[in-house]
Chain A
Amino acid sequence: MTLQQVKDELLHYDGKPVKIMEVCGTHTASIFKNGIRSLLSPKIQLISGPGCPVCVTAPAYIDRLVEFALQEKCCVLTFGDMMKVKGNRMSLTEAKAVGGKVRILYSPLAALQIATEDRDTQYVFAAVGFETTTPIYALMLEEILKNNIQNLKLMTSIKTIIPALSYICENEKEIDAFLCPGHVSVITGSAVYEELAKKFQKPFVVSGFEGEHILAAVYEIIKQISNHRPGVKNMYASAVTEEGNQKAVALIQKYFEEADDYWRGIGKIEDSAMKLKTEYRKYDLGSSFEEVEEHLPKGCRCTDVILGRINPVECPLFQKVCSPFNAVGPCMVSTEGACGIWYKNCG
């Protein structure tokens, strides 16, 4: 089948309305970048999911980073995305402006060199992410151990996407199918979706990030729904295998174990976090898995956005009160958050 034929089919689809959740923020960004919505029939609706680790991180986690950054001879190392996220008190950007020490890194491994070169400062790496980034944190810890680096620790807020998907399947019956995250699937493999597909009888299609990949995945979903044969299909075979990256998984399992965790905007999801195992806990600085549930600001519908009940434009605060310059809810704080991406592209 040619690309043009796929495009024709999707544009003129006239079957039953289909709601597809794209789980990953990078997919959301690519959907806008390629103008995918304008290529689909109005009967095919793409809904953004919880696929931004920064957005679902609890404000109390930011508070602990801020507190650390403001201490003498302490420095927070972080990815750029985390800088603007507000805690209850302030963001890391604001902490830096009042004298806190915060450095943006592009790779966690650069932290090793920084800590080695400046032994007098205690560094903490803001280890935020999904399955994708966890192996790098494991690798970082391995190097810390190997080189006996005493002044570098992790403060983790690592989430796992499969329990979140399971939660959405249980609670949000209106989602008809899932566009599964490409990067996460590289690590987990496509087989992890089998149980969910079987239990909930919905398509779980793994997609790459190019526009063509996404169109092909959406077409596969429509085909599965039309033929009443939902299941798992790996459409990103160049990077994703059925069993995943076993080496990376082994590395994660060596240092991390599952824990219940709080998702900002959703609440507690069982076994949805990775925390350092007891024997490595001394390399953990201030991670907490017992965050108190926060109440989102009045009018904020981030919970509905994360769970795919509405698109960001349907939130009454969107663009009016809530913008990247004044993020009210968690989905607006990161460039990968659904509201942030929608704002940029629909503003």
Chain B
Amino acid sequence: MKIDMSYGSGGKQTSHLINEVFLKHFNNRILSRMEDSAVLNVSGKIAYTTDSFVVTPMFFPGGNIGKLAVFGTVNDLSMMGAIPKYLTAGFIIEEGAELETIEKIAESMALAAKEANVKIVAGDTKVIEGNGGVYINTSGIGEVIKSGVSISNCRVGDVIILSGYLGEHHAAIMSKRMEIENNIVSDCAPLTSIVKKLIAEDINIHCMRDVTRGGLATVLNEVAANSQCKVEITEQALPISNEVRGFCDILGLDPLYMANEGKMIAVVPQSQADRALKAVRSSKYGKNAAIIGTIKEGSGVMMTTALKGSRRIDVLYGEGLPRIC
């Protein structure tokens, strides 16, 4: 069954969509009250964020737009040392979208919320003219359990841990768009367990950042600019799977600039580096973590290449498109 404009009218079709799709999957006591807003019990400092998701294709190896919408916001909260608690979900649906597609998205959002231990407590649906596209906005609240984590808080001597392989989400999406067959799967995942392990180990985390659009290069430049320091990384230390490396070689892409959806960096004191690395590696989504660099005095991001040359790493500008020659 296809969604038409009547599903956004606020009438019978709208309630069908809400009751039979969203409430069915997101069901929890707060949402099912169907009040105008959710009333929440929260204690202490909260982290609060929002993000919108417009990915095409909506379904890709390793996930879909719904899973991404939950984990994206969950990860943004986690990076501030918070335990994600509640999400809201707003859907903008273009007419022509299949009801079945919406249900699949809702189903995987529910699964993702369950894995990340968050509740979807409020939502909204709008139907607009178009061609079957679906866009999702999520916002989220988390309880801060580790304060002082900040992009401005890196200190000279700190080490940078990257939680796993680079570029998998980007490569999976591009493969699907370009109809290239391979085994690359998006890394779309919640980072909560890694953060919890680091906190449980009592690591003095100076900074955490999820490595999403713009890739590692952009995140490291943000670190350098905000903490007024120089970031030095080693090319050979970067965890990159052979498949993604091959994919990049063929298309002329650079894994440093490719998007990820389940990777983060943690900047920690040198003295706790080994313990922190062990903690990350013991987490479900951190098995391939590595120490990739250090914080130095100065500015910008420099990389020692495999040939032992030095290369300046700038932020991503424009789009990461395949070369033509």
Residues of A at the B interface (CB closer than 8 Å) are 7, 24-26, 29, 32-39, 51-54, 79-81, 84, 104, 106-107, 128-130, 132-133, 183, 211-212, 215, 324-325, 335-336, 344-347
Contacts and interface: CB of A to CB of B under 8 A. Distances in A.
B324 A79 contact: yes
Contact of A34 (B307, B314, B325): B307
B252 interface: yes
Nearest to A215: B307
B325 A132 contact: yes
Contacts of A26: 252, 323, 325
Contact of B311 (A24, A33, A80): A33
A345 B324 contact: no
B157 interface: no
Given A80-B319, A215-B307, A53 B325 contact: yes
Contact of A54 (B310, B318, B319, B324): B324
Nearest to B304: A35
Interface in B278-325: 303-312, 314, 317-319, 321-325
B98 interface: no
B222 interface: no
A336 B318 contact: no
B309 A84 contact: no
Contact of A345 (B252, B307, B312, B319): B312
Given A26-B252, A345-B311, A345-B312, A35 B305 contact: yes
Interface in B189-206: none
A338 to B, nearest CB: 14
B interface residue count range (under 10 / 10 to 19 / 20 to 34 / 35 or more)? 20 to 34
Contact of A130 (B314, B318, B325): B325
Contacts of B323: 25-26, 81, 335-336
Given A106-B178, A344-B314, A346-B312, A33 B325 contact: no
B250 to A, nearest CB: 11
Given A33-B254, A133-B324, A133-B325, A211 B305 contact: yes
Contacts of B177: 106
Given A33-B254, A344-B314, A345-B314, A336 B309 contact: no
* A-B pairs with lowest CB-CB distance, top 3: A35-B309, A80-B321, A35-B311
B309 A39 contact: yes
A324 B317 contact: yes
A54 B324 CA distance: 9
A61 to B, nearest CB: 15
Given A80-B322, A129-B324, A133-B324, 12 more contacts: A7-B308, A33-B305, A33-B311, A34-B311, A35-B304, A35-B309, A38-B311, A53-B325, A81-B324, A84-B318, A129-B325, A336-B323
A232 B317 CA distance: 38
A36 B309 contact: yes
A325 B317 contact: yes
Nearest to A323: B317
A81 B321 contact: yes
Contacts of A7: 307-308
B131 to A, nearest CB: 14
Contacts of A52: 325
